[in-house]
Chain A
């Protein structure tokens, strides 16, 4: 089982790596289906056509992908759910932040 530390490490790796594919080799969500993640991300991008990888990184990781990134993401997700900032994909109700994360994945793989 992965731990929060694994994910944190992965996010740090994601920050340091030029692309997710490199980050995955360092253990980001082992078993993650890249194609599925890319499709979800592309669906989010259709609804948010103006965002680029750069703008998404700025939104998701405004102070970098350091140790504080995960709690900040969690706070952003909770705030999205509270504010009705929802991304619906094939029926799944995800936070807009999660949608943006998948979008970033889709751009970096």
Chain B
């Protein structure tokens, strides 16, 4: 019905609805869009305004350190602020629009990966992925290959037994960094529905419960006003870090088995440039023709990454892995290193395919970040924000298996490419350089993981908190494992699935 500034309400207002969505980011908005025009009266509570504002953004401040096997700890204390946006539309403001579904292997329970396995299959997710694609106005990702991005372009001819495959990626224009008017329509138009109200500057600071039922929410505005909200059901959709913060700050809600905040997973990319001693991360393709399927001329165009499917993972006893190829400038390298790179790539192209001019490309690697119980978010009760909420402390852990698997995957891909006569891979990063050479993404996953067993997960397969019969969690915090692809499409797909569940519950009631 409207977008309302909660600061303009009389102090101590009481908001009532059938459903309250806490958080107006991409998950919260997707849920509201799915419920728009329906019978449920929906209230969305968003902490920020329409745009990013320093005072609101400062509520995110906390501490973060990355720890990794054989590497020096890396403090990233700006990460809690810089990796998210606290405004209507959430981190969609800075999202680049990259979309892809998780792979079937990501959903599978893999015996060699502790804590792996989703209570949903990739196949069951297909209709929700389709609807998420429709919502974002991008082509769908059919379960069978090739998809639209691959159809007219030739993939690398790797041996199918190696298990590497071209994994498609598309870009949605509905993102803050791509098509601002389209993004603005996406994040505001749903509020015109008669059953939807969006409140801005409305910070939920406490979830109240009696036994297993949520009974209401405490809302605080930075100008000092305080309000209450009450509903039949609630959905927590404030992101992979803030979902934890609010649960823990609400008397450890959902944390009976000490799982809330654990298993934090974040994607990182690994790559390096050349120096006087070595070449950087590079791929010398032995083909004469450009590899447009993987490294299109248009940087943000549809493309494929080279992914490790379940067969590859089983064979190498690794997790998911991708190599993203891109057009790179090799002209600034050390003269000797550059000459050797040229020599290696020319000789291998000649030997492989009789080509005199190979394609020299850059690449970056990504691996699934494995669930690790000590990779976790806790609250620092000695540090409070302007609303009195304890600040977060993120300890982001990469274990030995994370790096073992990265290196084994790189070697496996290099071997598959060489054996197929498709080219040579260059990877010169040492183990003790990996953390410092990695780039952290803005993907926060796993901290309220989904599992049918309350001793192993915070929410059930529907996203409902095991400890509360009327509170659901939306967003990437429910991912049991991280996969590799950007999580946004899966966040939307899971949220659409949740919307269907909430509608069916309403009908049943």
A17 within 8 Å of B (CB atoms):
no
A31 within 8 Å of B (CB atoms):
yes
Partner of B424, one of A31, A70, A93: A93
Q: In the complex, what distance in Å separates the CA atom of A95 from the CA atom of B418?
A: 8
Q: In the complex, what distance in Å separates the CA atom of A9 from the CA atom of B147?
A: 42
B288 within 8 Å of A (CB atoms):
yes
Which residue of chain A has its CB nearest to the CB of B284? A92
- A93 near B336 with CB under 8 A, answer no
Q: In the complex, what distance in Å separates the CA atom of A7 from the CA atom of B350?
A: 7
Known: A33-B343, A93-B424. A81 touches B418 (CB 8 A): yes
- A101 near B347 with CB under 8 A, answer yes
Known: A7-B354, A29-B347, A94-B344. A39 touches B336 (CB 8 A): yes
Residues of A with C-beta under 8 A to B343: 32-33, 36-37, 40
- A84 near B415 with CB under 8 A, answer yes
A1 within 8 Å of B (CB atoms):
yes
Of the listed residues B337, B354, B428, the one surrounded by the most CB atoms of chain A closer than 10 A to its CB is B354
Residues of A with C-beta under 8 A to B69: none
Looking at A18-26, A51-59, A71-79, the stretch in contact with chain B turns out to be: A71-79
Q: In the complex, what distance in Å separates the CA atom of A19 from the CA atom of B460?
A: 71
Q: Number of contact residues on A: which range applies?
A: 35 or more
Q: In the complex, what distance in Å separates the CA atom of A70 from the CA atom of B416?
A: 20
- B411 near A86 with CB under 8 A, answer yes
Minimum CB–CB distance from A10 to chain B (whole Å) comes to: 9
Q: Number of contact residues on B: which range applies?
A: 35 or more
How many inter-chain residue pairs (CB < 8 Å) link A and B?
Answer: 113
B9 within 8 Å of A (CB atoms):
no
Minimum CB–CB distance from A56 to chain B (whole Å) comes to: 16
Q: In the complex, what distance in Å separates the CA atom of A37 from the CA atom of B428?
A: 19
Partner of A1, one of B280, B357, B424: B357
- A35 near B339 with CB under 8 A, answer yes
B356 within 8 Å of A (CB atoms):
yes
B130 within 8 Å of A (CB atoms):
no
Residues of B with C-beta under 8 A to A30: 356
Residues of A with C-beta under 8 A to B353: 4
Residues of A with C-beta under 8 A to B411: 84, 86, 93
Q: A7-B351, A80-B418 are in contact. List 17 more A-B contacts (CB 8 A).
A: A3-B354, A6-B354, A35-B339, A36-B339, A36-B340, A70-B351, A73-B351, A74-B352, A77-B351, A78-B420, A81-B414, A82-B419, A86-B415, A93-B418, A93-B424, A93-B425, A95-B418
Query: Which A-B residue pairs are the 5 nearest by beta carbons?
Result: A91-B428, A4-B354, A93-B414, A36-B339, A81-B418
User: Residues of A with Cβ closer than 8 Å to B?
Assistant: 1-7, 29-33, 35-37, 39-40, 70, 73-74, 77-78, 80-82, 84, 86, 89-95, 98, 101-102
